[in-house]
Amino acid sequence: MSPNCLVIGGSHAAAQLVVSLRQMGWEHAITVVSDEHGYPYQRPPLSKDFLTGAKSGDDILIRPAAAYRTANVRFFMGAKAERIDRENQRVILDDGQSLGYTKLVLATGSYPRPLPVPGAELAGVLSLRSVEDTEKIKRCAASGKQAVIIGGGYIGLETAASLTKLGMQVTVLEAMNRVLERVTAPEISAFYERIHAEEGVHLVTGASVTCIEGDASVSRVLCADGSAYDADLVVVGIGILPATELADSAGLMVDNGILVDEYAQTSDTDILAIGDCTNNYNPIYDRRIRLESVQNAVDQAKVAAATLCGKPQAYNALPWFWSDQYDVKMQIAGLNTGYDQAVVRGDIAGSRSFAVFYLKSGEVLAVDAINKPAEFMWGKKLILAKTRVDSDKLRDESVALKALLP
């Protein structure tokens, strides 16, 4: 078999991989199998500008079609990989086709966690993960109608902000005691609860959804405490799961994601994996991590391309993320797991511009910067330098963050 690279998944990671392969000198065939019906696109705008109509499908393409033609990349669109035959190095598609590979890259991404309650299958109960999902939500969204968002994570809150812009009456139901409880400090949760209330969103915490009712389509959502919320549209955003089924059935090592080493290689040296579907070692935090971010997808894709081209470069990237809601841009650097102190820099109670730094034994682990790009930039430097700081100086905006670097 002639050398070739077969990529499963039309994700952000896949889009970066095929371009990076050509840039690094891969001269052999590249084929992408994607269950999407178009070229790879950016997912972050789906809950924001694409949902509100500020951006079109063409606007959110990662690269124009011409870029893939120039790179001589072949696409199988609307096709699903059913099985990997590792012994014969072939992938069997859902239509019976069989594609051979010498190198295989899994960029299968993730999918929405299903809501396990009666009525979740009703028309008008939707998730938000793809262009198709968002188009369905758009068709249900109309000014004056009522939307219920189940889940107060980033996707749920971003969707609430967008539907509010479209004139809908929005209720967010969060099962935990505060929004973003799994990922942020209580101070950040309180801030987002405040701004959503200021924008007219009805936010309910400690709300356990037990049932969704409706005849032809959804009409209301019921909770364990007996409360009920009328709904013309329900958007479920209770997390995502890594798409590992293909890897698992092929006998690859899987544990909360496809296990890969620092070079994006799986337990089979001819198979690599990148993006949301992976669980990789991060040397900055000295542990395995599964990240759901564009930054990780891009960085892992470049690492995989280098590996395939015989120019191995170990993964060594600081995680970073962002979220846009209303006039608020939140930029997150690092991971706050295990923090013992959250230091607020700026006016968190009365403004929409401040930063929260997460410390462990005085060392900066992470930063959440709200409309504070300088704090985000210097926060990354403090994290990478493993800086121990005086919390009073960190809190004092008259003290330059640069001065805190060792």
Q: Specify the pLDDT at position 1.
A: 77
Residue 216 has pLDDT above 90, yes or no: no
User: Where residue 2 falls among pLDDT bands split at 50, 70, 90?
Assistant: confident
pLDDT tens-place string over residues 260-297: 999 999 999 999 999 999 999 999 888 999 999 999 99
Residue 70 has pLDDT above 80, yes or no: yes
Q: Are 332 and 384 in contact (CB under 8 A)?
A: no
Average pLDDT for residues 78-97, to the nearest whole number? 96
pLDDT tens-place string over residues 337-391: 999 999 999 999 999 999 999 999 999 999 999 999 999 999 999 999 999 999 9
- Is the overall model pTM greater than 0.85, yes or no? yes
What DSSP string runs through 17-56? HHHHHHHTT--SEEEEEESSSSS-B-SGGGGTHHHHTSS-
Q: Specify the pLDDT at position 334.
A: 97
Q: Specify the pLDDT at position 373.
A: 97
pLDDT tens-place string over residues 144-177: 999 999 999 999 999 999 999 999 999 999 999 9
Average pLDDT for residues 204-214, to the nearest whole number? 97
Q: In terms of Cα–Cα distance, which of 268, 297, 280, 293 is closest to 10?
A: 297
pLDDT tens-place string over residues 89-129: 999 999 999 999 999 999 999 999 999 999 999 999 999 99
